[in-house]
Amino acid sequence: MEESVLMINSTTENDDTSMSRLTLENAADNSNETKSNINKINNDESNSNIEERYNKLRGFAVKLKKKVSDLMDQTQLLESENQRLNNDKEELLSKILRMSDSAKKLQTIQSQYDKLQDDIELVKNENKRLIKRIESIVLENDSHKDTINKEKKEVAQLTAKITCLLEEKTKFETTCEQLEKKIKDLNKEIKAESMVRHQKAKECEDLKNSLETEIRTHKSTRTLLDDMKHNRTSNNVLSLEVANYEKSIETIKTKLDEETNERINLEATVNQHLETIEVLTTRITELQNSCITKTNHITSLELKNQTLESDLSEAKLEIAKTLKDKESFARDSKNLETSKQNLEAKVELLSSEIIKLEEDSKMRIKAFQSHVDELKRETFELNLTLENSTKETSILQEEFENYKLRAQSVLLKAKTVPTNDLEEEVEDCKQQISIITEKCENYKEKTESLMKEITLLQSEVNRTSANEEALVIKLSKLRQESVALIDKYKNQEIEMQKLQINHEKAIDNLKIKHEEEMHNIKKEHEEEIKNINLKAVSNSVINTESTTDETIPPIIIPEPPPPLIGREECEGSENTESLHQTTKNTERNQRRIIAPELPMRNAITPLDQLLEFPFDEHEVVSRAPENNSEVTIYKNRVKYLTELLADAERDIAKLTQLNQLLKEDIRRQKRYVEREKEAVNFEYLKNVVLKFVTLENRDERSRLVPVLDTILKLSPEETHKLNEIVSSTGGGKLHKI
């Protein structure tokens, strides 16, 4: 604007200088042209017209200067207002950011409040669980107290029983001494074991014979290899293989000698172990059969004692657990109370903070609304000023166009006057007017953008107010819920107190009932002990009567049959059910022996004792049964003997199968050990297998079968299968195999 003012001043000065030049030129012309009066009159008229026009132009220029100065002032005012609006805009943005921060804080507070509400719900659930657990623990404590009292009384009774049982134990020791006498009878079984040894010695001889046959086969293979060496000297590969075969045969011989020595040692150790195992098994079975009937009562009482002791220990552990649970529950209740207090304090702080935020938000909303009203007013005033300025510019443009037309007409009339300066001034005025119009358009655009921003701010203010109202509603609801939760918690505490009182009453009633039941159980237990003592006395009387009776043979506890010797057979199929059946048969025999189905006088002796019992045919023939009762006794004995014989035959068959299985296992283990020793030379084994597969001649392949047998330690069945394959298949079929 200052530049435009300077330009206008310069144009006015140029006009003055041009007019002075014109006056000087006219004066010169007048001095020169003094001849004709007509020319002077015309010059005077032209000068007077030019002065009038100059005065008019000067007045118009003064008016333009005033308008330009007014426009400059208006532009300065508009710029100041624009700066003011920018400052207000920045303040509004800062306030909006503060409002957004406050809204975020409110959201965080709300999320914290939701978390606290969830924690309160969890605490409620935990309180309910704890109440249930406390109730169950109270009931368990009552039951445990009753059981502890019962068990204390039972322990006192059991201590008395244990003393009685110790006395009975001394009696049983005396019976064990008697059983030691029976061990002498086991020496007879040792003779049977010697027979087993003889059989095993025969097996060893058979194994030696098999080894000798294998050595012979090795010798035959060696001779064959020598023949092959002489016959096929041209084949270098075969000669090398033959040399390798010879070396391997020598190593195999040395290994065979070592293995034979090891086998002999192993057989000796196995025989010793088998003898000791058989002796121990016989002794164990005898002692078990002799002690089963006498120790059943003791074991039952000991089991009762152990069960009672275990129940006592469990009850003590449960009591300790209940005490620990009570302590933990008390701690949990204290922690819950402290957490409740902390939550209440947090809720109060949150409520106070929310109230403060509500007040701040209301104040800010009011300030924003007042500021928005002021901005609206200012924008309205700016719009009015813009309209006035546009009207004035339009008027100025019209006046300028009229002035332009007049100036053009004057310039056409006055040819002597220079028009360049006037044209420059007009162009300068046009430029200034264009600059002013551009500035006005810019101001319009800025006002429009400010109006848009004001509308956006109003929408944001409305949103924040709506969010604040929703938060206020949520706060009121949460306060109501917190009050309701506090009331519920108080009611639950009152209910807990009532439940404790009711539990104490129920505990007292249960104690009285349990004491009465314990008294009745004691009476029943004493009666049972008396009945057991009477039964023991009656059994002792029956035993004394049985010893005095001469006609009836003495009752002897049956002994298990001696280990039966099975005949060695060839390798056959394995039967895994034999062990189960043998155990079942032994259990059945023991049940038959233990179960007193017949009376004491009609007792049946086992098979071993009948075989060992001296039997005289003359006495049997001379003495015939007199009564039907004796006949029935003999029939029962015959049935029993037949059953025992059938069981013995079954046991013999199963023992033979077991013996076969054991032999097969021993042979397999021996082969496995021998294979491990031969597994060092894998390259040699690979060459032999490849040779066996690639050869087409049956004779050559049949010669390699014993080599494979010695390396792989094959069983007789496997060697037989290989021989059958070699004899039945050709080269092509073997390749397929």
pLDDT at 463: 80
pLDDT digits (tens, 9 = 90+) for 455-487: 787 777 778 778 778 777 877 777 787 777 777
Asked if residues 43 and 29 have their Cβ atoms less than 8 Å apart, the reply is: yes
User: Is 666 a member of any domain?
Assistant: yes
Confidence of residue 184 (pLDDT cuts 50, 70, 90): low
User: Is 670 a member of any domain?
Assistant: yes
User: Is 729 a member of any domain?
Assistant: yes
Residue type, 364: R
pLDDT at 622: 40
pLDDT digits (tens, 9 = 90+) for 111-152: 777 777 777 778 778 777 777 777 777 787 777 777 777 777
pLDDT digits (tens, 9 = 90+) for 83-122: 777 787 777 777 777 777 776 777 777 777 777 777 777 8
710 exposure class (CB count in 10 Å sphere: 0-12, 13-18, 19+): buried
Confidence of residue 291 (pLDDT cuts 50, 70, 90): low
pLDDT digits (tens, 9 = 90+) for 357-381: 777 777 877 777 777 777 778 778 7
Q: How far is CA 170 from the centre of its chain?
A: 59
**Least trusted range by pLDDT, from 136-140, 403-407, 593-597:** 593-597
Asked if residues 354 and 109 have their Cβ atoms less than 8 Å apart, the reply is: yes
Question: How high is the mean pLDDT of the chain?
Answer: 69
The separation between the first and the last C-alpha atoms of the chain, rounded to the nearest angstrom, is 114
pLDDT at 37: 53
The answer to whether the predicted template modeling score (pTM) of the entire model surpasses 0.75 is no
Here the tokens at position 110 are: 């709300």
Nearest CA among 542, 551, 546 for reference residue 627: 551
C-alpha span between 350 and 356 (Å, rounded):
10
User: Is 735 a member of any domain?
Assistant: yes
Bigger pLDDT: 582 vs 423: 423
pLDDT at 302: 64
Nearest CA among 737, 722, 730, 736 for reference residue 695: 730
Total domains in the chain come to 1
DSSP H or E run through 680: none
Here the tokens at position 67 are: 């308008």
Q: In 10 A of CB 251, how many CB atoms?
A: 15
- How many residues does this entry show for the chain? 737
User: Is 715 a member of any domain?
Assistant: yes
User: Is 663 a member of any domain?
Assistant: yes
Range of the domain at 716: 654-737
Nearest CA among 486, 478, 499 for reference residue 123: 486
Q: What distances in angstroms separate CA 550 from CA 135, 554, 616, one per listed residue? A: 71, 9, 18
Asked if residues 272 and 216 have their Cβ atoms less than 8 Å apart, the reply is: no
Confidence of residue 675 (pLDDT cuts 50, 70, 90): confident
Q: In 10 A of CB 315, how many CB atoms?
A: 19
Q: 602: which DSSP letter?
A: T
